[in-house]
């Protein structure tokens, strides 16, 4: 009976805090959300009256959510396009990330060149034996159109073409498209035929990362500039719509403590460590 009473009192004690908690909504890039979720948990430990709700929806969706006032803070793993930039939109770069080509751990290929990657994603190379691997068809994996990872990957590789006044993707229509870094990783981990790309900070032992032009995708090589496939991690917001809580969380992200988390998670911080 005493235990139940104590539990009830604990719940009652928490109710006023939760009822008056201020919520900071953050949405956008699934790559950025990978580390922002960790930051939100750390921040909330010292700010129990603020709830930071992080949702990975894709860079384009996050940008649109801020523009439509559906989210206070947006996350993007690419620079904004010209038609997305508005006089009321502010951006802050919080980190730099690499994009790594990944294959199944049993795949004997260790490195690909830019020309090979372009040919694979355009369907001109379709078997692993053409790039030094086994006699197996290549199951090519990419991200959805709204993905910042896809935008940055295709921009860097030159996998785009211009139609009229628009720049569009120039990859093979048969490429398998998935929605998150996690889905790419899961698919590649289970399929010996597969090739995909991931945020450097999302790499783990379930997949094998390939060198690009002979340079392995490591944080050290990204920081030195030897590994070339990189892109920014950005947060965006409307200055006039930013609450005190939202600004305080953003300040935490670019603080020494926040940037230490960035580095520990495999990204390049923008604040000197």
Rounded distance between C-alpha atoms, residue 256 and residue 234, angstroms? 17
User: For residues 103 and 109, is the Cβ–Cβ distance under 8 A?
Assistant: yes
Rounded distance between C-alpha atoms, residue 39 and residue 205, angstroms? 23
The predicted model scores a pTM of 0.83
pLDDT at 13: 43
Rounded distance between C-alpha atoms, residue 175 and residue 73, angstroms? 32
pLDDT at 167: 81
pLDDT at 20: 59
**113 to each of 50, 71, 251, how far by Cα in Å?**
47, 40, 39
Q: What is the mean pLDDT of each run of 10 residues along the chain (273 residues)?
A: 44 45 94 95 95 95 96 95 89 96 98 98 98 97 93 94 85 94 95 96 95 96 95 95 96 96 93 67
């Amino acid at each position: 009976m005493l235990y139940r009473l104590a539990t009830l009192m604990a719940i009652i004690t928490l109710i006023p805090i939760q009822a008056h908690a201020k919520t900071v909504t953050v949405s956008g890039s699934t790559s950025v959300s990978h580390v922002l979720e960790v930051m939100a948990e750390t921040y909330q430990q010292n700010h129990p009256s603020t709830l930071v709700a992080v949702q990975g929806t894709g860079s384009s969706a996050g940008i649109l959510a801020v523009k439509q006032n559906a989210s206070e803070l947006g996350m993007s793993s690419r620079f904004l396009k010209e038609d997305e930039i508005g006089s009321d939109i502010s951006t802050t770069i919080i980190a730099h990330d690499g994009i790594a080509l990944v294959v199944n751990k049993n795949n004997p290929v260790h490195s690909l060149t830019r020309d090979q990657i372009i040919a694979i994603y355009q369907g001109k190379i379709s078997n692993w034996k053409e790039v030094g691997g086994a006699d197996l068809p290549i199951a090519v994996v990419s991200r959805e159109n709204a993905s910042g990872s896809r935008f940055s990957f295709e921009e860097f590789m030159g996998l785009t073409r211009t139609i009229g006044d628009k720049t569009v993707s120039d990859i093979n229509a048969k490429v398998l498209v998935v929605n998150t870094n996690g889905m790419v990783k899961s698919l590649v981990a289970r399929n010996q035929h597969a090739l995909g790309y991931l945020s450097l900070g999302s790499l783990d032992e379930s997949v094998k990362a390939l060198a690009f032009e002979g340079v392995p995708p490591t944080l050290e090589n990204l920081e030195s500039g030897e590994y070339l496939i990189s892109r920014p991690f950005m947060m965006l917001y409307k200055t006039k719509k930013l609450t005190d809580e939202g600004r305080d969380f953003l300040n935490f992200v670019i603080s020494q403590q926040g940037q230490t988390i960035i580095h520990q998670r495999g990204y390049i911080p923008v604040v000197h460590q």
